[in-house]
Amino acid sequence: MPRLSHLLWPLFFVSTAAAHAQDQEAAPTPDSEVVAPSESPLDPQASDESSADEAEDVGSSTLARASKKSAVEAFVDYSFYSSRTQSFNPLALGIRGYWFHTPVLKYGFSLASEQFVFNSDRVATVSVTGDSTFRDVDLKGTAIRYAAHAQYFVSDTVHTDFSLFGTNGKTEKKDDLKGQNYSRSGLTIALGNQWSWDRYSFRWDWLTLTYNFNFDIGSENVLDRHPSNQLGGMFIVSGLAFGAEF
């Protein structure tokens, strides 16, 4: 009769071999790689960095204007018109008010006090020979200027401002010349920069073009006699403004 140990020995050998095979499968091979979990697309840090990049692309002045509804500015501007025998220099000090339609577009009105000097060579006497004597006349005066504005930002700070304006005033009495009524109206296009911060803004208009619809001093229509005065000039420094935005 065979011994019991002779019968159990094959079973022990088979079970040992099976256990060794399972250990071989569970152990990592030298060529195996550990795969890290993929980065979540909803990573908060990645979202914050993306938002910061977008804010930088928009621009700080545009962001400052994004939540604003209105703005008020105190301004000063200077213009110069000239022809062969005449020149005209108006200087305006005033205030502008705007309402934001979008962060890059706003509408408004302005009211200003205008001081001007009008220089003209006028005929003083005519001799029997037909010769004329000219006298150089400088007329000073004051007026009220009012205008409607539309301002559009083509980039973060570069802007263009379109305005329709009108002025009414009077020249001062000088020597034998009486005070005369003065009126002018026209269209102005200004190019410049405006920087905005949390509450304040600064504006510099470095190029201004003006087209005068009418330009009357007393009974004289300046544009009829000197059409070149119908066009305004170009200026490096033509307007400065400091304001607050709300």
- Which of these, 121, 134, 124, lies nearest to 86 by C-alpha position? 121
Class level of CATH domain 75-245: mainly beta
Residue where the block lists tokens 């930002």: 153
Report pLDDT for 7: 47
| Residue 85 per-residue DSSP state | S
Q: Please state, as a whole number, how many other Cβ atoms lie within 10 Å of the Cβ of residue 69.
A: 10
Report pLDDT for 190: 94
At 115-135, the pLDDT tens digits run 999 887 664 444 445 555 555
Q: How confident is the model at residue 142 (pLDDT cuts 50, 70, 90)?
A: very high
Report pLDDT for 163: 97
Distance in angstroms between the alpha carbons of the first and the last residue of the chain: 109
Q: How confident is the model at residue 204 (pLDDT cuts 50, 70, 90)?
A: very high
Distance separating alpha carbons of residues 112 and 110, to the nearest angstrom: 7
Between 65 and 177, the more confident residue is: 65
- Is residue 136 over pLDDT 70? no
- Which of these, 114, 214, 104, 118, lies nearest to 161 by C-alpha position? 104
Distance separating alpha carbons of residues 80 and 84, to the nearest angstrom: 14
Report pLDDT for 152: 98
Report pLDDT for 173: 84
- Is residue 28 over pLDDT 50? yes
Distance separating alpha carbons of residues 108 and 149, to the nearest angstrom: 5
Between 94 and 19, the more confident residue is: 94
Strands 181-196 and 220-221: unpaired
Report pLDDT for 220: 83
Report pLDDT for 124: 46
Query: 3-class DSSP state for residue 15?
Result: helix
Q: How confident is the model at residue 69 (pLDDT cuts 50, 70, 90)?
A: very high
Q: How confident is the model at residue 40 (pLDDT cuts 50, 70, 90)?
A: very low
- Is residue 55 over pLDDT 90? no
Distance separating alpha carbons of residues 122 and 110, to the nearest angstrom: 34
- How far is the CA of 45 from the CAs of 49, 54, 156, 163, in angstroms? 6, 14, 27, 47
Residue where the block lists tokens 């001093």: 217
Distance separating alpha carbons of residues 218 and 113, to the nearest angstrom: 20
- Is residue 221 over pLDDT 80? yes
Domain-wise residue ranges, the chain: 75-245
Do residues 234 and 81 touch, judged by C-beta distance below 8 A?
no
Report pLDDT for 45: 56
Average pLDDT over residues 39-47: 52
Report the chain's C-alpha Rg in angstroms.
Answer: 40
Between 218 and 194, the more confident residue is: 194
Report pLDDT for 87: 83
Distance separating alpha carbons of residues 100 and 111, to the nearest angstrom: 19
- Is residue 6 over pLDDT 70? no
